[in-house]
Structure 1
Amino acid sequence: MGEAGAGSPGPGPGPGQRRRRKLVLHVDVNNTVVVADAVTGQGPRAALNAFLSAAAWGRRAPDGAWQWLSEAPSLRPPCPGAVSYSSAHGRDPRFADSPRGSRFRGALRRHLRLLAWPGPPHEGLSVCGEGGQRYHLVLPAFLRLLDELHRDGRRFAVVFRTFGTDLPRVLRALRCALQGQHPGFPALRGLPLPVDSSVGQIRCSEQEVVLCQGHTRLSTQDNARALYSFFSATEGLSGFQDHFDWWARNHFSCQGGKPLWIDPHDPDVHHICIDDNIRLDDSDTIVCPQVFSEPGGSCPRLAPTSELYGVCLVQTNLLEAIADEDYFLRCVRQCEENYEHYLASAGNQLQNGQ
């Protein structure tokens, strides 16, 4: 298939083929495409330790002692009643380096080796970690996703969505990569993917969600569809800081999470959010998915995470994202396949009057 600009229509569908939807990828930063945290000052080792503490499972014994229920890290609990170590003790930036988490030390060391930066340091694309070791700032799996979507002639855009302050650094790094400065991805040079460095904000309240970027200001009080249309029309790479205080005031539940608007009646766009804090438990997740139930409607309904998990919501497995350069590409392709099933199921329910 011939190549086309990332924001351009690309080649039209062949006879009998359905036009592929534009992908709008809403992507978290920390512990999704970047293994570091400028706000907390955590380098790659501390950030990876903190992730492992949330992927290690156990429970309290009757005498109060901690009992392990997992030997290997995983996103999902291994059995009913299991709780993550971080839920019981808080995220620990020294977890696998401590005696308590020593069983996960091998996973820590293995993935740090995979994160190591090859060759001379690059000021924008590599980051200095503990002990002076240089690491990838942006995961190679994410750069491969950009490369492969472009090679496949896809229409796509990436909107970074984070509570943190790392967006300018990440956008600068990606600009360097798109200039061909990454030793592992020289083919990214010249990819027609503009980088918008004007970081926007999304702020939430009981009355409205407000999006601001440059001279643009949109509010759900006027029309929630306007925000959906804004993100659907976005091009290239851009970023927004979401409203952490609102999430905290809503007890870290979906009610206060990052708003994501989805229109299953739109044949042209598929929105996908990728974030390590997406969880099936609506009382402990980071995205507030809002689905338009009617064509052209302006009042979306709050959808449960379970309805869209693996369809429009991807819980990042950081260890797989580090170890497998095809990870994000595989997640996106799986979501596209599941989205077709989701739309077919929704259509059947409408026909049956449900």
Structure 2
Amino acid sequence: MAYCDKTGDHPPASLNNEDSRNGHDPATDKHPTPHSKGNANDCCSTEEARTVSVPHGLCVKKKKLVLHVDLNNTILVSDAVTSQGTIAALDYFISTVTWGQMSKQGKWMWMSDSPSLLPPCEGAVSYYSQFGRVAGFTSSTAGQRFRCVLDEHLAMLRWPKELKGDKELAVKGEDGQLYHWILPSFFQLLKDLVAEGRDFAILFRTFGSDLPRVLSAVSRALTQGSHPLFPDLPALKLSVNETPGQIRCSKKGAVLTRAEERLSTRDGERALYQYLSSVQCLGGFQDHFDWWARNTYSILGGKPLWVDPFDQDVQHIFIDDNIRQNDKDTIVHPKVFLDRDGSETRTASTSELYDLCLVQNDLLKAISDPEYFTQRISICQENYDRNLQQGAG
């Protein structure tokens, strides 16, 4: 087995509008590869936290947060689109965060025994990138070294045996056992945001068909206290718009609809930004998978996210497991406004907004750490505020 012997820090992100004016094309640009700092000899450990300091709880500054949250393999461990149950979905995710490379003899060599979001060294590729979806990855000869990772996180994901199963919040896995359908760390995030007195909204953004069910389950937990681990959620006084919206994209632009509401970028992209910045509490939109596929799963076909670096009052953050620092293979299309109050935007590369407005979800940590989402948002706030201060200077 060949292990990487190089480590490095995450490159600084920025909101530099000069890139677009100098002909920068994020879909073809090559960015430096960040390196993880995990223990290469511990197959049950995951990537260590980044070096950005994380204060307890969330940032004190009361800027409104609009959190765009993916569903599958972000707050749900399942995938209705691919018909994956809990075990299959988690097994698949592990194949996307384990790294190796092909030898000159055409044999696969592992570069690390520790799962990590980012490649441990230059030249390393994920097992999924090399071989595609492999059913039963951790049961295969190549992937069995990561079986302990699967078993460990399934144990943490199991619905407590002493509690009665819930038809919306618990799901039966392929092994017949009950598991959490929505990660407890998501509900903990809601409690943390309210405890901080935060003005916030959460918009579920998914390509899949689970959105109506998620909206219903979350609404019931928030209004009826149906979650046995979080019976006090009604005290948060949060509401859910259970009407699913849609965002559809084409060469002519994007169209957002929900019930009687309809906005189009043909009338200017600023209007959609203002609409999404003004939403309250929780809701959701189904994004346009076919558009992403037609754009070869690249940044240009991804879920649109409008970012205004001049806005001192609102910060948009997108959390998705398929956010990657390879703009030819990523799921969110960041569109950054060029001028204050203007309507013209540019496509920002993923690496530019990584850990500022874009969070690549670590499903393993989202399962194991109840404070995971709270901490990731805190890191984004800290980086974003520092970036704005540097820009102002």
**1:222, CA displacement in angstroms?**
0.8
- Structure 2 residue aligned with 1:43: 85
Tell me the distance in 2 between the aligned counterparts of 1:234 and 1:99.
49
1:62: which partner in 2? 104
Contact 1:142–1:328 under 8 Å retained in 2: yes
Q: How many residues align?
A: 332
Question: Which of residues 143, 146, 167 is equivalent to 2:190?
Answer: 146
Alignment of 1:169-184 (within 5 A): 169-178=213-222, 179-184=224-229
> Is the deviation greater in 298-307 or in 325-334?
298-307
Matched, 1:32 2:32: no
The one-letter amino acid of 2:169's match is: L
Aligned residue identity for 1:174:
V
One-letter code aligned to 2:235: G
Letter aligned with residue 265 of structure 1: F
| Matched residue type, 1:306 | S
TM-score (norm 2): 0.82
**Retained in 2: the 8 A contact 1:47–1:93?**
no
Displacement of 1:92 after TM fit?
A: 2.6
- Equivalent residue for 1:188? 233
Q: Is residue 200 of structure 1 aligned with residue 242 of structure 2?
A: no
| Letter paired with 1:282 | D
Once superposed, which parts of structure 1, at least 4 consecutive aligned residues long, lie more than 4 Å away? none
How far off is 1:19 after superposition?
5.6
Query: SS where residue 88 of structure 1 aligns?
Result: helix
Cα deviation, residue 104, structure 1: 0.3
- Mapped pair 1:137 → 2:176: no
Say which SS state the counterpart of residue 190 (structure 1) adopts.
helix
Q: What one-letter code is carried by the residue in structure 1 that aligns with 2:143?
A: G
C-alpha distance in 2 between matches for 1:36 and 1:252: 20
> Could you tell me how far 1:18 is from its partner in structure 2?
8.5
Instruction: Specify which of 294, 306, 311 is matched with residue 266 of structure 1.
Output: 311
Question: Once the two structures are superposed, what CA deviation does each residue of 1:131-181 show, in whole Å capped at 9, x if it has no partner?
Answer: 210000110111000011111111111000011111111112212221211
Q: Provide the C-alpha distance between the structure 1 equivalents of 2:250 and 2:380, rounded to a whole number of angstroms.
A: 30
Tell me if 1:247 matches 2:292.
yes
Equivalent residue, structure 2, for 1:352: none
246-255 vs 320-329, which moves further: 246-255
TM, length-normalised to structure 1: 0.91
- Secondary structure in 2 aligned to 1:130? coil
Superposed CA offset, 1:286-330 (max 9, x none): 111111121101111111111111001000000000000000000
Write the distance in 1 (CA, Å) between the matches of 2:191 and 2:135: 33
* Structure 1 counterpart of 2:138: 96
- In the TM superposition, residue 280 of structure 1 has moved relative to its aligned partner by 1.1
Residue 39 of structure 1: CA displacement?
A: 2.0
Task: Give the superposition deviation at 1:187.
Answer: 1.8
Q: 2:117 is aligned with what amino acid?
A: L
CA distance in 2, matches of 1:276, 1:263: 23
Q: Secondary structure at the match of 2:290?
A: helix
Change (3 A) 1:190 1:259: same
Supply the distance in 1 between the matched residues of 2:361 and 2:88 (Cα, whole angstroms): 18
Query: Is 1:82 aligned to residue 127 of structure 2?
Result: no
Matches of 2:302 and 2:76 in 1, distance apart?
Answer: 20
Q: Deviations over 1:167-222 (max 9, x none)?
A: 11111221222121111112212322111111111111111111111111111111
**1:9-51 CA distance string (max 9 Å, x none):** xxxxxxxx99611100000000000001122221110000000
Paired with 1:93 and 1:182, the residues of 2 have a C-alpha distance of 32
Q: Distance in 2 between matches of 1:39 and 1:19?
A: 39
Verify the 8 A CA contact 1:54 1:91 in the aligned structure 2. Answer: no
- C-alpha RMSD over aligned residues: 1.3
SS at match of 2:138: coil
Aligned mate of 2:273, from 202, 208, 228 = 228
CA distance in 2, matches of 1:61, 1:266: 49
Stretches of structure 2 lacking an aligned partner (at least 5 in a row): 1-58
- The residue number in structure 1 matching 2:62 is 20
Question: Matched residue of 1:185: which SS?
Answer: coil
| Partner of residue 4, structure 1 | none
1:213-265 CA deviation, whole Å, 9 max, x = no partner? 11111111111011101110111111111111111111111111110001111
> Which residue number in structure 2 is paired with residue 276 of structure 1?
321
